[in-house]
Chains A and B, each alone.
Chain A
Amino acid sequence: MRRFFVCSVVWAMALVLLPSGVSAFQEEGTLRIGGMWALSGPAAYVGSSSNGLSSLAIDEINEAGGVEIKGKRVKLVKYAYDDACKAEEGLTIVRRLADSDKVLFSLGPTCSNVAEPVFGTLQKRLDDPNDTGLQFLFFTDTAIKFGLAKISPWAFRNVGNEPAMFDLTFQLVQEKYPDLKTVAVAYESDFAHSVSTWKGAVKPALEKYGYQVLDVVEWRFEDTEFGPQTSKLRKLNPDILVMLSHTYTTCGSMKEFKRQRVKSKLMVGITSTANTETMTACGMAVEGMIIPTNFAPINPKAKEIAELAWAKYKADSNLHSVPAYENIYAIKGIVEKVGIDNEPHTLLADRRKVRDALAKLGTFQGIIGPIKMNGDDDPVKPRDVDKAVILVQAKGGEWTVWWQPPEMEQDKQ
């Protein structure tokens, strides 16, 4: 028995210590990119969608010949790992990607609570020899909590800007429905994303547009009973209900609202809920809810991607997953423009080159419109993007476009 145990330990260690095969990338015709997403656990749906969209981009690029580096076309190779939305997993995966797999950059993470520590271990001051943080580039597609990219100059994000999204939302709501004045808010008080969205995005927007907040009710991310909170809302009878909760509690609470006959004239939801998962879970319960998002199949390219991603990878296309596709193309563009050496010993210099280029990228093309990357010196949101906001509404079990920027009307077919 002891022998078996010792053997297993040795065997397990051996498996870990297996190197990922470090040959010269350029010689073998590959460019390595990485991804860490929640592929298991409660956020698995979101993470695997991003994973699928990244595969779509990679396969497309490789089929078209690959990325051009030093006159040669090399293929993209993906190293993707599951962080299960857990900080500890993220901390070891980032070093695996950076050091063992030697990827140029990484997509992800999915969860903001993984991004926090992982970005925290990155180098904070470029060119500071005393700063021993990891010099590894992230170009995030999902983790949306406000301010994450500020943590390190190596952290870039192509995610929604929730303060801007909700500002636009309430501006439009006020224009369209000027009679609606009172608001009640519900959020998950133990889930960082909900809390920061309420405090940093929704509250200021409500104040700015002169809404009266009647009450704010809270529940926990894993709660299943919403009776008392609903009773409170029933008494208040707000014009607008703002639901800053994620899929499970949104479904549960909306059903309770129906039971207790709580009906507001308008409902606004949090960005993460605008996806197929919500529709599958409780489609009719969220009927009429308006949510700001960054993606909807409003032009032929967007439709094509949404269909392909689902058909080939069973991946849902939404504001969290489509950036994975966009980011890979953006990096391809940068690599082909500034040129890298693509050798294991030039990895650090290559990453730095791409990082600096990404900081100066300015505007690049997204699926539904241009995306502007803010540079290092932006005072409010360095290394975060500004991009078009679309508002969708749940109608008949599907997300339909409620409002899109006027300049996009021409793309609609």
Chain B
Amino acid sequence: MAETLIDVIQQLINGLMYGAFYALIGLGFTLFFGVMKKFNLAYGPTIMVGIYLGLIPLYVWEAPIWTVFIACVAGAVAVGFVVEFACFRFLRQGHELAPLMTTIGMLILLQEAVVIVTHALPYEYPAVFGDESWELGPFLIRPDYVAMLLTGVILVVVLYVVVNRTRFGRAMRAVAENPTVARLLGVSVNRMNTLTFALTSALGGATGFFVAISLGALQPGIASWMTIKGLVVIVIGGLGSIPGAILAGLLLGVVELQALWFLGIGYRDIFAYVLLFAFLVLRPAGLLGKAAT
């Protein structure tokens, strides 16, 4: 009995930390949608390309790990600009599905581009926080997950401050509420969109760094995986809600790992989708969402 309890708590700890990934990815999606009212399905690939760009200082210059982090973030921001330019800038208002398709096109393009450039070879990030988990009593804690959790907390706090306490944040929220009025009040909507892209992509880059150091080997397919999980998270958490995305991400992580532990891999994915459907049916607004669309 005690052993089962230990197992449950161990997987709970794992689930919460793993869920932090989901939370951060969902955060990016929710920021996009909250501010720009558009769906950026190219967010996953943006992060993925940022991760691969981070390999350049690592393999070409054998530079220290913090440069890799910078490269990741900078790379993601650069890709973010490309995505914004290619997929959003020229789209006229009122066509909600068009950005969906352009970003899907970008997802296909970016994923294939990375496969070509890397010749489909797998690369790995170094294990920055060591090869072994820390032992805390009967529990094992992954140091890279802890680092990500702490960074995530910092990022969320910074985000909160930026969104709620700065002029930039106020402008961002104004554009989210009502772009026309914001424009009348002197806010350049285009500039806000570009800056939002930059901010969210930077967040993505930082997330991507921690995703990369926790993976065994990199593959371009992680772009699709992140996209799907991110979308599930924002549905559960509620579109446009930052705390919702965080809670939803953690919930998803916990549910998945508990299902995996007790029922096996077959049920892990099924439970994730059942959770999704449960929310859609019972609480379409999500945990903390504002609207059902």
**Contact residues of A between 35 and 68, Cβ < 8 Å to B:** 40-45, 48
A178 is an interface residue with CB less than 8 A from chain B: no
Against B, the Cβ 8 Å flags (1 = close, 0 = not) of A200-230 are 0000000000000000001110111101110
A40 touches B112 (CB 8 A): yes
Q: Decide if A42 touches B219 in the complex (CB within 8 Å).
A: yes
CB-based contact A259/B133 at 8 Å? yes
The reply on A258 being an interface residue by CB < 8 A is yes
Contacts of A225 in B (CB 8 A): 18, 257
Give A280 to B14 CA distance when docked, in angstroms: 29
Asked if B142 lies at the interface with its beta carbon under 8 angstroms from chain A, I say yes
The complex places the Cα of A254 from the Cα of B260 at a distance, in Å, of: 18
Q: Do B140 and A260 touch (CB < 8 A)?
A: yes
Q: A224-B225, A227-B14 are in contact. Are A259 and B124 (CB under 8 A)?
A: no
C-alpha gap A220/B264 in the complex (Å):
11
Q: Is A340 an interface residue (CB 8 A)?
A: no
Quick check: is A92 within 8 A (CB to CB) of the other chain? Answer: no
B145 → A minimal CB distance (Å): 9
Q: Which of B10, B11, B216, B266 has the most CB of A within 10 A?
A: B216
Q: Contact between A253 and B265 (Cβ–Cβ < 8 Å)?
A: no
Q: Enumerate B111-133 residues with CB–CB distance to A below 8 Å.
A: 112, 115-116, 119-124, 127, 131-133
- Tell me the complex Cα distance, A25–B35, Å: 64
B222 adjacent to chain A (CB < 8 Å): yes
* Contact call B265/A220, Cβ cutoff below 8 A: yes
Q: Classify chain A: how many residues form its interface, as a range.
A: 35 or more
A316 to B219, alpha carbons, bound, how many Å? Answer: 19
Contacts of B219 in A (CB 8 A): 42, 248
Whole-angstrom distance between the Cβ of B77 and the nearest chain A Cβ: 24
B85 within 8 A of A: no
Q: B265 near A44 (CB under 8 angstroms)?
A: no
B10 touches A285 (CB 8 A): no
- Is A282 within 8 A of B124, CB to CB? yes
- Tell me the nearest residue of chain A to B135, going by C-beta: A261
Q: How far is the CA of A101 from the CA of B7 in the complex (A)?
A: 60
Report the Cα distance A277→B260, complex, angstroms.
29
Report how far A280 CA is from B133 CA in the complex, Å.
Answer: 24
Query: Does A332 sit within 8 A of B, measured CB to CB?
Result: no
**Residue A251 lies at the interface, judged by CB distance under 8 Å to chain B:** yes
Starting from the known contacts A248-B217, A260-B140, 7 additional A-B residue pairs (CB-CB under 8 Å) come to A41-B115, A44-B120, A228-B257, A232-B261, A248-B216, A250-B216, A277-B122
